[in-house]
Structure 1
Amino acid sequence: MALLANKTAIVTGASSGIGRAIALKFAAEGANIVVADTVEQPIEGGQSTVELIRSAGGNAVHMKTDISDWNAVDALVGATVGRFGRLDVMVNNAAIYTSTNLIETTPEQWNRVIGVNLTGFFYCNKCAVTQMLTQAPINDVRGRIINISSQHGMVACPGDFPYSVSKGGIVQMTRQIAVDHADDLIVCNAIAPGKIITGKPGVANDPDALDYSRRRTPWPRLGQPNDVAGAALFLASDMASYVTGINLMVDGGWMAG
């Protein structure tokens, strides 16, 4: 039996990178996937996430969504339930960054990063929990939330002030939801990726930044999106039966060093 058979999952930012890997992994385990992203084509090039899932016999749909817009998120969850009947897993992955320190960050940059990375997660979690509260439990769980945080929610992200602050907020948001809604049988966890190699543009793949990450990571390679997807699958499945409120490191030992 597939781990997510007959389950429905929304994955934000699933057109590329980590979100794409999570969507593909969930679909391979039988889930209906809603790819919620501002664009459909992957940064890495090639087929879209939805095309890949459908070509493998899975069920997926793309819904254009800017998570910093409350109405868009509300419509996303409503359309998902209208199409598939319920929402079992909400994966909040979409995020942006500016690579600016405190002095360099403009108010506009701050508002945009917090608007997506923190307020957007608030909107997604609020809409997801509101829906999950209406659903009958399956195996004692009404629904599961997975927030993608970062090791930079616990240690500083050199030179990126708004991103690091937003990720710290996500870690605490996860704990808060987990505790407040445990009695409602809603599970909420976070995953903190270390350095994951994706097609992300700019400083993320700068040689100096990669060298810093390699020196900082005990494991003898940097992460791949599929490393995070495996952890997400565990948290989305019934294997994670008594796990809520955690911030699971997928970082090659970064935070242990």
Structure 2
Amino acid sequence: MPLLKDKVAIVTGASSGIGRAIALKFAAEGAAVVIADTAELPIEGGQSTADLIQSTGGTAMHVATDISDWNAVDALVGATAARFGRLDVMVNNAAIYTSTNLVETTPEQWNRVISVNLTGFFHCSKRAVIQMLTQAPVNEVRGRIINISSQHGMVACPGDFPYSVSKGAIVQMTRQIAVDHADDLIVCNAIAPGKIITGKPGVANDPDALAYSLSRTPWPRLGTPNDVAGAALYLASDMASYVTGINLMVDGGWMAG
């Protein structure tokens, strides 16, 4: 039986990259997936995530969502519940970055990164929990939240102050939700990717940066979005039956070195 049969999941930032891989993996395992993103078409090119899922017989819909806007998130979860009747998994993945250090970062850049990477996760988690509290438990669980953090929530991200600070806060947010809502049978975990090759622009794919990341990673290759999607599938499924409050590293051994 598919691992997520009859489950309903929202994945933010799922038009491209890691979020897209998670959405495709969830759909392949039987979940109905709501793609929440400001854009619909992937950075990498090709079909939209929702179209790709539907073309292979899966169930998906795209809801244009700026997670920094509470009203947009409220509408997103409301639309999901209206169509599918419940919300089993909220994957908080959407994030932005500036590649600026403390002195270079403008107040506007700081506010924008925090509004998406931190306040956006707060909005989505809060609205998800509000919905999940109305649901009957299935296999002892009312719902699951998966936060995409980063290795740079535990070690510094050289030259990107707002991003690293926001990811550190997400690790703590994960623990807080897990502890506060354990009695409600709501699970909350995080995944901390190492260097994952995606289509995002800028310094992320600079050859020198990639060479440095490879030199820092014990495993003899860098990560792919599908590596993170596999971890998300585990945490979204009933296989993770007694796991809450963790920050699961998917980093090829970077943090172990």
Aligned to 1:4, the other structure's residue is in SS state coil
User: What SS does structure 2 have at the residue aligned with 1:120?
Assistant: helix
Do residues 14 (structure 1) and 14 (structure 2) align? yes
Residue 209 of structure 2 aligns with an amino acid whose one-letter code is A
Residue in 2 aligned with 1:244?
244
Q: Which residue of 2 aligns with 1:67?
A: 67
Provide the identity percentage. 87
What CA distance in whole angstroms lies between the structure 2 residues aligned with 1:30 and 1:176?
30
**Aligned amino acid, residue 248 of structure 1:** L
Give 2:24's aligned residue.
24
- CA distance in 2 between counterparts of 1:215 and 1:171 reads 26
Secondary structure of the 1:60 match is strand
- Within a 5 Å distance, the mapping from 1:155-194 to structure 2 comes to 155-194=155-194
**Separation in 2, partners of 1:14, 1:26:** 11
**For each residue in 1:81-125, what CA deviation from the matched residue of structure 2 results, as whole angstroms up to 9, or x when unmatched?**
000000000000000000000000000000000000000000000
Residue in 2 aligned with 1:227?
227
Normalized against structure 2, the TM-score is what?
1.00
Once residues 119 and 231 of structure 1 are traced to their aligned partners in structure 2, the CA distance between those partners, rounded to angstroms, is 24
Gaps of 5+ in 1: none
Looking at structure 2, the residues matched to 131 and 47 of structure 1 have their Cα atoms a distance apart, in angstroms, of 31
Equivalent residue of 2:61, what SS? Answer: strand
Alignment partners' CA distance in 1, 2:169 and 2:100: 18
**Equivalence for 1:253:** 253
1:190-240 CA deviation, whole Å, 9 max, x = no partner?
Answer: 000000000000000011111111111110000000000000000000000
Query: SS in structure 1 opposite 2:68?
Result: coil
DSSP 3-state at the match of 1:6: coil
Q: Give matches, 1:100-119, under 5 Å.
A: 100-119=100-119
Distance 1:215 1:99 in 2: 21
In 2, the alpha carbon distance for the partners of 1:217 and 1:250 equals: 11
AA aligned opposite 2:17: G
Q: Are 1:122 and 2:133 matched, yes or no?
A: no
Structure 2 distance, partners of 1:8, 1:165, is 31
Deviations 1:117-137 (A, max 9, x none): 000000000000011011000
Structure 1 residue 181: Cα displacement: 0.3
Paired AA for residue 66 in structure 1: D
Task: Compute the TM-score of the two structures, normalised by the length of structure 1.
Answer: 1.00
Give the letter aligned to residue 88 of structure 1: D
- What is the one-letter code of the residue matched to 2:20? R
4+ residue runs over 6 A deviation: none
Gaps of 5+ in 2: none
Note the C-alpha offset of 1:242.
0.2
Equivalent residue letter for 2:12: T
Matched residue type, 1:198: T
In structure 2, the partner of 1:216 is 216
Pairwise CA RMSD of aligned residues? 0.3
> Between Structure 1 and Structure 2, how many residues are aligned?
257
- CA positional deviation for 1:19: 0.1
For the residue of structure 2 that corresponds to 1:76, the secondary structure is: helix
> How far apart, in 2, do the equivalents of 1:215 and 1:163 lie?
22
